[in-house]
Amino acid sequence: MNYDIIIAGGGVIGGMVARELSKYKLSVCVLEKQSDVAIGASKANSGIIHGGYDPEPNTLKAKMNSRGVDLLYKVAKELNVPFKQNGSMICAFGKEEEAEVFNLFERGRENGIEEMRIITGDEAREIEPALSEDVSLVLYVPTAGIICPYKLTIAAIGNAMDNGVELIRNFEICDIGKTDSGFVVKSTNGEEVTAKYLINCAGCSSDKVAKMAGDGEFEIIPRAGEYLLLDKAEGSTVSHTIFQVPSANGKGILVTPTADGNLLTGPTAAVVESADNNEITPEGIRTVINLAKRSVPEIQFSKVITSFAGVRSSEKDGDFIIEASKKVEGLVNVAAIDSPGLTSCVAIAEYVTVILKGIGVTLTQKENWNGHRADMEAFNHMSDEKKDEFIKQNPAYGKIVCRCEGITEGEIRAAVRQNPKALDMDAVKRRTRSGMGRCQGGFCSPYVMRIIAEENGIKMEDVTKKGGASKMLVGRI
C-alpha cells in the first residue's frame, strides 16, 4: 500500500496530526503497533490543560503551550470531547517556595499568559476549602482545564478516518528502508507500506523509529508516573487542579477532578528502561498518598478504585523535538513530547503542517472536510423525556449493561461500530467507561464480551482484553 504520508504512532499527537492532514488532498495512513489507539502515554496521563506558566520562555514547549490552550478548547468542542475549564492552583508551603511562585508568575507573563494572579493561602481556601492550612501562597491560573486524554485521541483519529485517513493497527515497525521515492516501512508481522514522507510520532519509541529511518540524532528518556484514581464520590473534594511548586522532575504530585467526575492524584516521576515499565510500586503509592495529602489533607484514599502508571517520553535537553530531520529527507520527527504535550497537541499538529510545507509537501484544501464528530455521550446528556423517546426508536439504549457508570447496550454497540472501532474490552472501556466504575468491570464484562463477539462475528473465546494473546476466556465447558 502506498501513501503520500505515513504517521508512526496512534497517540494524541499522531491523532491530531492525522486530523490536521485530513483537511488536505493527501493519502495519509496512521500506523499503530497496538490493537487500539491511545494505548501509551495518551491513556495514562493527568488529563490537564496546562495554563502555560511553567515552560522555559522561548522554547517549543512554551510556544506550543501558549498557543495550544485556546486551540485545544476549540477542537474539543468540535469533536464533542468532555472538558472543563476549571482553573489550577500552584501552591507554595512557606517562604522559600513563595519565591518560586513569583518566578513562575513572571515566567508565565513572559510566555504571554495574562490571566494569572497571585493570591494568599487564605484567599485560596475561600475558593477551595479543602486546601491545606499550610499553603501560604498560590499562583491562580483560571485558563487551565481538564480533559479526557484517551477520548480526545480516539475522537481525533476517528474524525481523521471519517475524512479519509487510514488506520492500520498491530503494525509494530521493525524496519524502515529509504528509497529515492520515500520510505518502505515493514512490520513484525510481515506487512509493508510505502510513502514519500514519514512523520515520527512514536512516543517512547520515536528514537528507535528515527534510527531505523537513518536518523540517530536524539535519545528518548522514558519517565514513569504512577497515579491513584478515586471513586466519583470523592470527585468534588476539590474543584480546581491543585499543584505543588514544580521541581526538575516535573510538576509534582497533583490533586484534580477528572473530566468524568472522579478524583485523580499523582504522578510520580521515575526514569525507567522502557515504556513497558509501567508497573505500580509500593513506594510510588506511598509517595502519591503522602504528597497529595500535603496539599489536600482530607482526601479519602480508602475510596481508590484503581491505580495505573504511564510512561512519558523525555529528552536530555528538556524541550519538544519537532523538526524535519537534518539527516533524512522526508522524515519529520515529533518526539520527546512530555508535559505539556496534551495541551499542545493541536498547536503541534498545526506546526507540523508548516514544516511539511517547508520540505515540499503541497497542501490543497478539501472542499468537503468535516471537522465535527458526533457526541458519543449524547444519550447521557439527554433529559429523561428525550431518553424515553430515543429508547422507543433504539431499544438497545434501554438496557443498562454497566451498572456503575450507567452505560447501555446501545452505547457499547455504537463504540464497536464508530471509527476507530473498539475491538477489545479495554477499547470499549476507553470509549464508553463501561468497566471503569466502582466494580471495575466485575458485573458488566460478560455482557460486553458478548456484544463485541456479536458485532465482530467472532466467538466469545476470541474476545481479548487488550489485543494479542490477552484472551478473556480459555474455552467452553
Alpha helices (H) along 184-264: 206-213
Active-site residues: which are they?
50
Residue 407 CA to residue 431 CA, distance in Å, equals: 11
pLDDT given at position 260: 94
Beta bridge partners of 227: 308
* pLDDT tens digit sequence for 404-422: 999 999 999 999 999 999 9
Q: Cell 515497525 sits at which residue? A: 173
Q: What pLDDT sits at residue 246?
A: 85
Average pLDDT for the chain: 96
Residue located via cell numbers 528518548: 220
Q: What is the distance between the alpha carbons of residues 107 and 123, in angstroms, rounded to a whole number? A: 22
pLDDT in tens, 63-94: 999 999 999 999 999 999 999 999 999 999 99
Q: Give CA–CA dist 93/75, Å, rounded.
A: 36
The rounded average pLDDT for each run of 10 residues, N- to C-terminus, in the chain (477 residues) is 97 98 98 96 96 96 98 98 97 95 97 96 98 98 98 98 98 96 97 98 98 97 96 97 81 92 96 89 96 97 96 95 98 97 98 98 97 93 94 96 94 97 96 92 94 95 95 89
What is the rounded distance in angstroms from the CA atom of residue 197 to the CA atom of residue 174? 18
Domains assigned to the chain: 1-84+146-220+315-373 (3.50.50.60), 88-142+223-314 (3.30.9.10), 378-462 (1.10.10)
Q: How long a stretch of residues is the chain? A: 477
Positive or negative, the CA dihedral 98, 99, 103, 105 is positive
> CA-to-CA distance for 466 and 416, rounded, in angstroms?
14
What distance in Å separates the CA atoms of residue 192 and residue 174, rounded to the nearest whole number? 10
Calpha distance 187→8 (Å, rounded): 11
Query: What are the CA-CA distances from residue 379 to residues 31, 158, 406, 415 (Å)?
Result: 32, 19, 11, 13
Rounded CA-CA distance 332/329 in Å is: 9
What are the backbone angles phi and psi of residue 351, rounded to the nearest 5°? Answer: -65, -35
Provide the pLDDT for residue 250. Answer: 60
Q: pLDDT tens digit string along 331-386?
A: 999 999 999 999 999 999 999 999 999 999 999 999 999 999 999 889 988 999 99
- The pLDDT tens digits of the residues spanning 31-40 come to 999 999 999 9
- Local structure of residue 124 (DSSP, 8 states): H
**How far apart, in Å, do the first and last CA atoms of the chain sit?**
43
Percent of the chain clearing pLDDT 90 (strictly above): 94
Please state, in angstroms and rounded to a whole number, the distance separating the CA atoms of residues 50 and 47.
9
